[in-house]
A and B are shown apart, each in its own frame.
Chain A
């Protein structure tokens, strides 16, 4: 069962121990490692880059201010993902304009909301989060080769030169990268199609 922050708080108090508090350097590492990813998580819900960044910033500020109290039983990433998600949902709730989101019901305003667009944006960002996760799970070299190929759009020859490997090795690494992404995103792809068809 997942435990929400208030309950962690209670357990900590019950033990009566002094916390091993977070120092700012460790906090900085946590921030730098997780910041971009958490912003992408927030984008799934809010779809506005600046609001997403602000909500993630709020999360980190809160986390820092409560560092005496919080002792994580799960890893930081899992905790942060949930906390950012709740912040987003809370934000959307308070926001006057209702949008369709992770919760099931919403109010439609007099003027018809472009639901299809919002749905598609949400789903798109959900896919992006998934893709980024999968890419980061790739072994270092493979990840870099894939990024050079997909983002920087370098040719196989250029990648081979940069990495000091053969073109054949580049192809092998790419085929393994694609295989990893393909296997795991096929399922999300179907989920994507279903979401678009809104079944």
Chain B
């Protein structure tokens, strides 16, 4: 038994000895062994804490208390067999009603989310958004992109647009055509759509719902790489010091070198927020004021005002691209805006709108009923869904 093959190549005996002695110097251990030792120490400490919590519950005492409470019931059980029959009759009379309720609750119990919540009314459910977009070529031709079609989508002027197996749209230049740079293409998403595109220079852009990005078929002959965005997009720009990358929206222009950032310029907000994850970025507003920001920061551009810089909540900003909704302390109207775009719905507010602030995370790939059930769990809002219309009530 001592010569058992151990799951690891490190010398367990040495590690366990060091663990036992809890020596400060573990220099005769290899780096992997040291790592393992650290893990084992953590496991040991946590196990100890866990077991301490476990044994802190006094089962004996609790049983004694419980036994006292139910001992009355035990003796009456033997007498109550007759009552059982009466009970059975009463219950079977109600069984029909219970069956109906059970049938309804089965629909909600299915995903085991929240079987107690029958507060919302769903005449129908609404599926989440999809990976879908429309590519409009410079000659006006529109190609619908989805996970369905694969392979080559279009060829023109030496540019090949193809779709990889995992759904990414890739641009490649098959031969140098001097006017490729003037051919402007546009990728756009409607409500309920999102897409990811690789640009001719290998930069990547993710588009949220109701957004678009315009770009030239080739960046080759240009001094700057320029694109135009509406709505919300996240970029990972390929480094190219010689050719700065510029993103224009109607309120600002962003210049970057090699960088990861998110731009939110939805019109319902009347301002544009740009959050930087990596690299460096310069924002220029229409009044030609400029600010440079560092990773973890964001700028807000509002017409007629100075550019403001503030710390960015990167997790909130990146949530959509990573496939979920994430809110911290937000009013219901802001949350509903995001839901409107993703689920392609209309929203009506009935009665007084709750002032409560909401926080939470939920995957974007769920039906709307799950998202709304989660929101209403807080008791601050209730919903009714009928067709594509959602009513928000208190």
Q: Are A31 and B66 in contact (CB under 8 A)?
A: yes
In the complex formed, the residue of B with least CB distance to A115 is: B359
CB distance from A101 to the nearest CB of B (A): 10
Name A36's contact: one of B4, B40, B54, B378 (CB within 8 Å): B54
Residues of B within 8 A of A84 (CB): none
CB distance from A189 to the nearest CB of B (A): 8
Pair count A-B, CB < 8 A: 173
- A90-B379 Cα distance, complex, nearest whole Å: 12
**Interface 1/0 per residue, A22-62 and B, CB below 8 Å:** 00100010011001110110010000010001001100110
Q: Are A105 and B46 in contact (CB under 8 A)?
A: no
In the complex formed, the residue of B with least CB distance to A131 is: B50
**Known pairs A156-B20, A182-B43; A105 contacts B52 (CB<8 A):** no
Residues of B within 8 A of A39 (CB): 57
Number of interface residues of B (CB under 8 A): 69
**Known pairs A10-B99, A36-B54, A103-B377; A31 contacts B63 (CB<8 A):** yes
- A64-B62 Cα distance, complex, nearest whole Å: 15
CB distance from B204 to the nearest CB of A (A): 20
Q: Is A193 engaged at the interface, CB distance under 8 Å to the other chain?
A: no
Name B48's contact: one of A1, A18, A40, A150 (CB within 8 Å): A150
**Interface 1/0 per residue, B342-357 and A, CB below 8 Å:** 0000000000000011
- A81-B357 Cα distance, complex, nearest whole Å: 32
Number of interface residues of A (CB under 8 A): 74
Residues of B within 8 A of A9 (CB): 98
> What residues of chain B have their CB less than 8 Å away from a CB belonging to chain A?
1-2, 4, 6-8, 12-13, 16, 20, 39-40, 43-44, 46-57, 59, 62-63, 65-67, 69-70, 73-74, 77, 84, 88, 91-92, 95, 98-99, 101-102, 105-106, 109-110, 112, 114-116, 315, 329, 356-362, 374-375, 377-380
18 more CB-based (< 8 A) A-B contacts, given A105-B362, A182-B43: A4-B109, A6-B98, A6-B102, A7-B109, A13-B92, A31-B62, A36-B54, A40-B50, A60-B66, A61-B70, A86-B116, A104-B360, A106-B360, A108-B359, A128-B50, A178-B43, A182-B39, A183-B7
